[in-house]
C-alpha cells in the first residue's frame, strides 16, 4: 500500500491534519485507527462542550467526533478502522495489523497522533495487593458509556484534575457513589467551579493525602490513606485513578525515536518534526494534556508543516536551538527544538508548571532575555510564550524567576 501521507490516530489532531492535507491537494491521505470507529477520546466523553472553535457550536463528544470524521471523508480522506500500527520503519513505512493479517503502508510522510492515556497504578507506585476493581477513568468511561456496566459501587477516586471531576459525573450517571476523593497536593489541581462538585455530590475531599496501599484478594476491600491526620483505612470496593496523563508513545519508543521524559512524548521541532526522516507528531501525544480544540488546531498546523516538508520548504532540523528548562517550577515545555518561527506553526513555547507558582517567565539566549511574561498559575493551566523573530541555533534557556 502507498499513500502521500499516513496519519496514525483518528482523533481531533489526526482528522484535522488529514482534512487540511486533502484540501491542500494531496489525494492519498490515509488515517489509521485501531478502534472500530474514528473520533478518538471525544467519542467516550458523553459531555459537552466540544466544537466551539471548529464548528462554532456546542456539541457533545460523540457528535463532535462524527462531524470531524465526516469532514475528513467529505474531502476524500480514507479512514482505515480496526487497524493497528505495530511498527514504525524507515522510509517512512508502517507495519500494520489488520483483521486480515499484517500489511505494510509506505508514505511520503507520517503524522503520529496517537494521543494520551492515564497513568496506571504501578506508574503511580501504589503498593498493596492486586485485586480487581482498580481502574483508570478511561476504562471506567468505556464500561459505563459504551457497555452500560458498573465495575464498582463505592470507589475511592484519586486525583483532582479537570477529568477527576468529570469522573464524579460519570459515576453519578452510573449510580456509583464514591466514598472519597483523594489529592496528594495542597490544592485542587483543576481550576474553576468544579471544586464545589464533591461537596454537592456528598463526596469527602481529602487533601494532602496519598493512597499507600490497596487491600483485597479478589476485589478491592479497602485502601490505606496517609494524610495530615495520620493513617486511615477506608472500606471501598474500587479505586478510580484519574488523570496523570502521559503520551501513548510505546510505538515511538520501540522505533527508537527520541523522547522527552518531561512531556512523556517525542522530541519535536517547531514544525512538529521528529528525529527520524519523514515522521511528524501532533496532538496529545506531544504532552499531557490539552483540549480537543487545541489538538485540532495543532493537527491543522502539522498538515501545513507536512505540506511544506513535501515541497522541500522546511529548514534543516539541525539548525534548531535546543530548549533547556532550568529550575523545578516548570514541568515541561515544547517544542524542544526551536527553529525560526513561521506563521501557523509552533511559533510559541507551550508549557505547564509542576506546582502553583508566580513570577516572571524568561527565555534567554546567550545570556540575553529574548522573551518574558509574568504569570501566576496552577499546574492545570496552559501557558504559552511567544517566540520573537530571529532565534538563532544557540541553546535557549527557559526559567521562572519567582521573585519577579
Partner 1 sequence: MVAATSGFDVAVIGAGIVGCAIARRFAIDGARVVILERGHDVLDGASKGNSAILHTGFDAPAGSLELDCIRAGHAEYLQIHQRMNLPLDRAGALVLAWDEEQQTALPALMAQARANGVTDIQPMERADLLQAEPHLAPEIRAGFRVPGEALIDPWSAAHAYLYQAIAHGAELRCRAEVTSARRLADRWDLHSGAGQVQAGLVVNAAGLWGDHVQRLLTGESWFQIRPRKGQFVVFDKPAAALARHILLPVPTAVTKGVVVCRTVYGNLLVGPTAEEQDDPDCATLVPETLDALRQTGIRILPALAGQEITAAYAGLRPATDEKGYRIRADLSQGLVTVGGIRSTGLSAALGIASHVAALAGGQSARQPQHWPQMPVLAEGGARDWRAPGNQGLVCHCEKVSRREIEAALTAPAPANSLGGLKRRTRVTMGRCQGFYCSAELARMTEGRFTQPLTGGGGDAG
| Residues forming the site for partner 1 (CB under 8 A) | 34, 36, 82, 84, 86, 97-102, 117-118, 120-123, 125-130, 132-133, 135-136, 138-139, 141-143, 146-147, 149-154, 175-176, 212-213, 217-219, 237-238, 248, 250, 253-254, 256, 261
Residue 217, all three cell numbers = 484478594
Strands (E), 65-136: 78-80, 84-89, 93-98, 101-112, 116-118, 127-128, 134-136
Q: How far is the CB of 317 from partner 1 (least distance, A)?
A: 22
Of residues 49 and 131, the one with the C-beta less far from partner 1: 131
* Closest distance of CB 364 from partner 1, Å: 27
- Min separation Cβ 287 and partner 1, Å: 16
**Contact criterion met (CB below 8 Å) for 349 and 333:** yes
Q: How far is the CB of 108 from partner 1 (least distance, A)?
A: 26
Beta carbon nearer to partner 1, 57 or 217 = 217
In whole angstroms, the minimum distance from the beta carbon of 132 to partner 1 comes to 6
For residue 355, give the C-alpha cell.
506546582
- DSSP-derived 3-state class of residue 111: strand
Min dist. Cβ of residue 270 to partner 1 (A): 25
CA dihedral sign, ordered 263, 269, 274, 280: positive
Q: Which class for 376: exposed (0-12), middle (13-18), buried (19 or more C-beta within 10 A)?
A: exposed
Q: Which is nearer to partner 1, 217 or 358 (CB)?
A: 217
62 close to 70: Cβ distance less than 8 angstroms: no
Considering beta carbons, is residue 82 or 229 the nearer one to partner 1? Answer: 82
Residue with smaller CB distance to partner 1, 29 or 144? 144
Q: Which residues contact 25 (CB under 8 A, 6 or more apart)?
A: none
Which three cell numbers mark 337?
Answer: 527544538
Measured from the CB atom, the residue of 7 and 303 that comes closer to partner 1 is 7
Beta bridge partners of 234: 223
Strands 205-206 and 210-215: unpaired
Helix (H) or strand (E) holding 239: strand 239-241
CB of 331 to partner 1, least distance (A): 17
Q: Closest CB to partner 1 among 141 and 300?
A: 141
Q: How many CB atoms lie within 10 A of CB 200?
A: 9
Amino acid at each position: 500500500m502507498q499513500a502521500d501521507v499516513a496519519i496514525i490516530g483518528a482523533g481531533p489532531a489526526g482528522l484535522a491534519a488529514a482534512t487540511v492535507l486533502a484540501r491542500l491537494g494531496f489525494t492519498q491521505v490515509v488515517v489509521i485507527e485501531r478502534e472500530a470507529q474514528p473520533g478518538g477520546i471525544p467519542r467516550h466523553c458523553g459531555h459537552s462542550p466540544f466544537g466551539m472553535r471548529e464548528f462554532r457550536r456546542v456539541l457533545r463528544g460523540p457528535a463532535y467526533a462524527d462531524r470531524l470524521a465526516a469532514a475528513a471523508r467529505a474531502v476524500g480522506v480514507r479512514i482505515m478502522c480496526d487497524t493497528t500500527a505495530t511498527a514504525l520503519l524507515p522510509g517512512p513505512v508502517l507495519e500494520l495489523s489488520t483483521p486480515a493479517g499484517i500489511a505494510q503502508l509506505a508514505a511520503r510522510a507520517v503524522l503520529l497522533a496517537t494521543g494520551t492515556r492515564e497513568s496506571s497504578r504501578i506508574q503511580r507506585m501504589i503498593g498493596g495487593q492486586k485485586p480487581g476493581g482498580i481502574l483508570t477513568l478511561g476504562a471506567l468511561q468505556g464500561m459505563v458509556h459504551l457497555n452500560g456496566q458498573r465495575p464498582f459501587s463505592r470507589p475511592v477516586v484519586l486525583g483532582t484534575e479537570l477529568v477527576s471531576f468529570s469522573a464524579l459525573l460519570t459515576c453519578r450517571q452510573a449510580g456509583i457513589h464514591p466514598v472519597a476523593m483523594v489529592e496528594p497536593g495542597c490544592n485542587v489541581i483543576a481550576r474553576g467551579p468544579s471544586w464545589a462538585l464533591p461537596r454537592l455530590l456528598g463526596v469527602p475531599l481529602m487533601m494532602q493525602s496519598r493512597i499507600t496501599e490497596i487491600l483485597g484478594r479478589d476485589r478491592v476491600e479497602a485502601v490505606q490513606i496517609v494524610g495530615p491526620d495520620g493513617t486511615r483505612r477506608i472500606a471501598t470496593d474500587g479505586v478510580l485513578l484519574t488523570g496523570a496523563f502521559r503520551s501513548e508513545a510505546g510505538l515511538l519508543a520501540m522505533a527508537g525515536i527520541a523522547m522527552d521524559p518531561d512531556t512523556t512524548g517525542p522530541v519535536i521541532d517547531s514544525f512538529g518534526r521528529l528525529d527520524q526522516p519523514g515522521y511528524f507528531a501532533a496532538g496529545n501525544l506531544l504532552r499531557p494534556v490539552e483540549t480537543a480544540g487545541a489538538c485540532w488546531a495543532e493537527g491543522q498546523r502539522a498538515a501545513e508543516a507536512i505540506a511544506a516538508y513535501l515541497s522541500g520548504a522546511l529548514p534543516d532540523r539541525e539548525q534548531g536551538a535546543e530548549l533547556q528548562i532550568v529550575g523545578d517550577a516548570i514541568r515541561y515545555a515544547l517544542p524542544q527544538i526551536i527553529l525560526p518561527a513561521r506563521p501557523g506553526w509552533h511559533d510559541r513555547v507551550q508549557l505547564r508548571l509542576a506546582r502553583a507558582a508566580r513570577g516572571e517567565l524568561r527565555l534567554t539566549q546567550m545570556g540575553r532575555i529574548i522573551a518574558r511574561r509574568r504569570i501566576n498559575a496552577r499546574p492545570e493551566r496552559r501557558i504559552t510564550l511567544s517566540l520573537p523573530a530571529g532565534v538563532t541555533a544557540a541553546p535557549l534557556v527557559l526559567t521562572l524567576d519567582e521573585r519577579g
